[in-house]
Structure 1
């Protein structure tokens, strides 16, 4: 079987060299690819693991940071945040030619699109949303220093750097000129909060980046996809989770996402649930919503930028930038409400 990015013999040798017993033949299957990290299941006669590595082409190191993912997952092993049990990390990429993480397989249900969501009752959908918000609040309550993540990021000035980062990214990926981008960037730069909290942030939190219990979807068994995690302002996590609820996010993903379904709580309801679960004040909320919209608009533009330059991502990727003006306009509306 040809699995791009995978060498089964090299993986088996790496596991054995790492002290992981392999009993019987190692069987490997690809379970997720595309623009995201490549994700495989590897199983012997006794155990099953999940192996993740960056894509074989089009690498963007900050978006496929395996060291970051493994470090934070390993640190959260005994915390109130459910994560997969870590097994081994090939930081130098000696086995597969790129850094690789290995964690225990978590059996459960992944709700990616609205077809997956259709299998849940309304009560299960509501329970899963409540649990997701609670898990995010628990993540933000973890003391980074207490779990060995005190130097995991630079929380001071985090929000201002985010504003500048996404403006710079726009300059790299824009496929046309959009006046609202410069207007929103300038408005965000002027509205950066003078103070902000600091916590571990996931950076990409929504239902499809978790594994739910198969029998009880109101229980998260593991939070996954930590490659964007850092130390920063927790409200950036919350606002992004809420803006992901926008139906235009489907254009960015190229599918009808479960998280954009009108069966899910509204963005306002999610934000208020988080405030109640975390005890945090949602001060400057309009700014955080505007920043999240700015980020997603740039991401959509970037997907189309790469597609037009031959990434092979298909027609859906070429349409992702159609969402960009909508996100920029939503960001400006959020900031206008912030000023009132």
Structure 2
């Protein structure tokens, strides 16, 4: 079967000791043949993701980024434990092969997992692939349905009742992401103080406490190459926790650049959510509420928070790049994206009218 999401060469300063890793993996799977080769996926804005390829089997390797980082956002061992817990009730996750906190192997904690076969949309669909408007619409419904299924999981039933901190999630998120932004801000980026003040003043009551992904977007999803609207798996669970599911939906839709958004937002689009047939943000919210039975007067807060949170993530990555701890040259433009996202937040606040 075609694997459309192809990695490239490992970036300088993000290499690891392949000989040590080979010995580690072969101790787990002695059927492996030959010597492995390593490649790196073009994502990796958060945890770094590699392909470790043997002649008879492929693995995915995940490890935290190099340099200063937010520990809770890059805990690959926590991520592995969560995937093992939810796989019996949410089969859209890869099987964990091994995990280790032995930093003598590759210089940091890491997880080895199966490679899911399919494609991951980045800025655009893979070359040679297209979606009809009906397929694009079905893709949106499938994405939303998988999120609804995740939010329906009983955390206690899968042994994850202690994953979160209970009530107060929304306030903790506002305070936590505000602190992270202030810690990571660089002199060439906006200060977001007006946005942060608005979030504090506009905090809604929490709707529920559910298992949430916290980074649910197209380039964290593997789609089938035989049916591009069908989902094979959901990746990148390092920020998953227990919290308000509407915050999860808002954070997801912050990435959703639709066809009628202005040119400045179109310029920072990172997934093909603009294609003909794709549902709008409002349509996705309406669909989510109908399927879950939620009643919701306004979604403004959740989208504005999600947009601010996206800006913080971009700022943290940009700060690591400026400090020389991230090698991906794409990160050089993240500071400009942060400034665009502040203008986006302020525009959404003005439009919300409260």
CA distance in 1 between counterparts of 2:240 and 2:35 reads 31
* 2:62 equivalent in structure 1: 52
> Which residue of the partner structure matches residue 320 of structure 1?
337
Q: For residue 30 of structure 2, what is the aligned residue in structure 1?
A: 21
**Deviation >6 Å, runs of 4+:** 247-254
1:270 to 272, 284, 298: 284
Deviations 1:175-203 (A, max 9, x none): 36857x33332232232223331111111
| Greater shift in the superposed pair: 275-284 or 265-274 | 275-284
What SS class does the counterpart of residue 284 from structure 2 fall into?
helix
Please give the residue correspondences for 1:275-286 in structure 2 after superposition, counting only pairs within 5 Å. Answer: 275-282=289-296, 285-286=299-300
For residues 147-178 of structure 1, the C-alpha deviation after alignment (integer angstroms, 9 at most, x for no partner) is 11111111311110111112212322333685
- Kindly report which structure 2 residues correspond to 1:14-163, keeping only aligned pairs within 5 A, or say none: 14-17=24-27, 19-32=28-41, 35-116=45-126, 119-163=130-174
Where does structure 2 lack aligned partners over 5 or more consecutive residues?
1-8
**Pair 1:254–1:268, CA change in 2 (3 A):** closer
Residue 14 of structure 1: CA displacement? Answer: 1.7
Are 1:254 and 1:317, in contact at CA under 8 Å, matched by a contact in 2?
no
TM superposition shift of 1:278: 2.6
Structure 1 residue 219: deviation in Å?
A: 1.6
Deviations 1:229-260 (A, max 9, x none): 11111111111122211368998998642244
* Paired residue secondary structure (1:35): coil
Shift of 1:88: 0.9
Cα distance in structure 1, aligned partners of 2:319 and 2:60 = 31
RMSD in angstroms over aligned alpha carbons? 2.9
The change in CA–CA distance for 1:252 and 1:32 in structure 2 (over 3 A counts) is farther
> TM-score if structure 2 supplies the norm length?
0.84
Contact 2:39 / 2:51 at 8 angstroms: preserved in 1?
yes
Q: Relative to total residues, which structure has the larger helix share, 1 or 2?
A: 1
Match of 1:188 among 199, 221, 226: 199
Deviation at 1:140, TM superposition (A): 0.3
CA contact (8 A) 1:213 1:219 kept: yes
The answer to whether structure 1 residue 333 and structure 2 residue 346 are counterparts is no
The correspondence of residues 219-238 of structure 1 with structure 2, limited to 5 A, is 219-238=230-249
Counterparts of 1:312 and 1:13 in 2: how far apart (Å)?
Answer: 27
Worse-superposed segment, 195-204 or 312-321: 312-321
What count of residue pairs does the alignment treat as equivalent?
Answer: 335
How far the C-alpha of 1:213 sits from its partner, in A, is 1.1
